């Protein structure tokens, strides 16, 4: 490899935050034991927070963000991986504490990587990325109700933030699993888009605003919540007995003001989704399931491929809720 390569570098010196595309060198990659030539990364909400001002997440500067990537192994000190192996990385605090995927090369711990399943390629892997992987975890948490409760079936599933990266993939996967999916959004112009993904009905997010009673009419067997905040408080009161709420986001706030009533009267399960720290075994299972459950032609239709320059133009739109679907980043574009 050439000693120099392109990367997006953020810095914060004397309280002045900067982001720019720079040339860095292999010697700048201090972490890990596997060098990967990056084919694609993806733009996630957390990436946008970090690109904006560090998001109170990144502590060391200068820094290369990007919380996921796919690519091919160039060098490996671990026999599990050899040159030209296609690999996927999501999570493990890469792009937060360790240099990440918004670069042409990355060096990471071999224990953070899995091999790209044969049914996928590296572009498809990042069309899913962290958002898609999170959505898969949520969907299987909902499905787990049927296994944990010995066959008690799931029918009606609510998805909040349904036009976002996690929400869009969740709608697709849950529909493919055979559930009736109710998609929550504030974007009325995206109704056809959501129905095309498999949503049975579109619900205006305003219906989940306002004060919640301790318990409301039980409506949902399962919920994938990407929003958090007040709407999650309201939704918890609406879950049917033994329903599961998979909580994976905080775009609407980090606090919920609930009571114990949904949990002790209805047996509601609040299932936290930590996509960053999932085990390798679980990662391998979910990435292999992805090829069976997802229509990549549909995902391609709402995926935009970005250069580094376009990445820096696009992330503010994601923070403002002005970007929907998926964005993949091609470091060689």
Q: What is the mean pLDDT of each run of 10 residues along the chain (333 residues)?
A: 88 93 95 97 95 94 97 97 98 97 98 96 96 96 83 90 92 96 93 95 93 93 95 96 94 90 96 92 95 92 95 95 89 94
Look at residue 151 in the predicted model and tell me its pLDDT. Answer: 64
CA distance 88 to 261: 41
Q: State the residue for tokens 């975890």.
A: 137
Report the distance separating Cα 127 and Cα 66, nearest Å.
14
Question: Residues 312-324, buried b or exposed e (16+ Cβ, 10 A)?
Answer: bebbeebeeeebb
Helix (H, G, I), strand (E, B) or coil at 152: coil
Confidence (pLDDT) at 1: 57
The full set of domains in the chain, from first to last, is 4-116+302-329 (3.90.180.10), 132-272 (3.40.50.720)
CA neighbor of 52 nearest in space, from 326, 280, 318: 318
25: three-class secondary structure by DSSP: strand
Return d(Cα 264, Cα 271) in angstroms, integer: 15
Angle (nearest 5°) at CA 65 between 169 and 117: 45
Phi, psi (deg, nearest 5) at residue 80: -65, -25
With residue 48 as reference, give the H or E element that holds it: helix 45-53
The closest of 172, 194, 195, 178 to 143, measured between CA atoms, is 178
Report DSSP letters for 209-264, one per residue.
-S---SS----EEEEEES--HHHHHHHHTTEEEEEEEEE---TT-S-----SHHHH
CB contact at 8 A, 136 and 142: no
In 3-state terms, the chain is what percent helix, strand and coil (to 5)? 35, 30, 40
At 301, list the tokens. 């239709």
In this structure, the number of other CB atoms found within 10 A of the CB of residue 23 comes to 13
* DSSP strand pairing (156-159 vs 180-185): parallel
3-state secondary structure of 323: coil
């Amino acid at each position: 490899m050439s000693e120099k390569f392109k990367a997006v570098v953020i810095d914060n010196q004397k309280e002045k935050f900067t982001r720019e595309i720079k040339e860095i060198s292999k010697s700048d990659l201090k972490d890990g034991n596997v060098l990967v030539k990056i084919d694609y990364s993806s733009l996630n909400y957390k990436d946008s927070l970090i690109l904006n001002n560090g998001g109170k997440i990144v502590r060391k500067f200068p820094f290369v963000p990007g919380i996921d990537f796919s690519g091919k192994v160039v060098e490996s000190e671990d026999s599990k991986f050899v040159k030209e192996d296609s690999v996927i990385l999501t999570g493990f605090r890469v792009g937060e504490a360790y240099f990440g995927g918004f670069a042409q090369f990355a060096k990471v711990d071999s224990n953070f990587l899995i091999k790209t399943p044969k049914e996928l390629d590296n572009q498809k892997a990042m069309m899913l990325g962290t958002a898609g992987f999170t959505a898969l975890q949520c969907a299987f948490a909902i499905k787990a109700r049927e296994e944990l409760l010995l066959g008690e079936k799931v029918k009606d599933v609510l998805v909040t933030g349904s036009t976002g990266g996690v929400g869009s993939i969740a709608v697709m996967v849950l529909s493919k699993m055979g559930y009736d999916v109710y998609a929550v959004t504030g974007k009325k112009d995206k109704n056809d888009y959501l129905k095309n993904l498999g949503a049975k009905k579109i619900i205006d997010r305003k219906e989940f605003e306002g004060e919640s009673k301790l318990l409301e009419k039980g409506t949902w067997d399962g919920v994938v919540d990407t929003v958090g905040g007040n709407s999650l408080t309201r939704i918890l009161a609406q879950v049917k007995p033994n329903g599961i709420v998979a909580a994976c986001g905080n775009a609407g706030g980090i606090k919920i003001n609930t009571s114990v009533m949904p949990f002790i009267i209805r047996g509601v399960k609040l299932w936290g989704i930590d996509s960053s720290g999932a085990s390798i075994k679980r990662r391998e299972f979910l990435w292999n399931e992805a090829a069976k459950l997802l229509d990549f032609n549909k995902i391609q239709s709402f995926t935009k491929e970005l250069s580094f320059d376009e990445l820096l133009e696009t992330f503010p739109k994601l923070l403002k809720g002005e970007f929907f679907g998926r964005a993949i980043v091609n470091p060689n574009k």
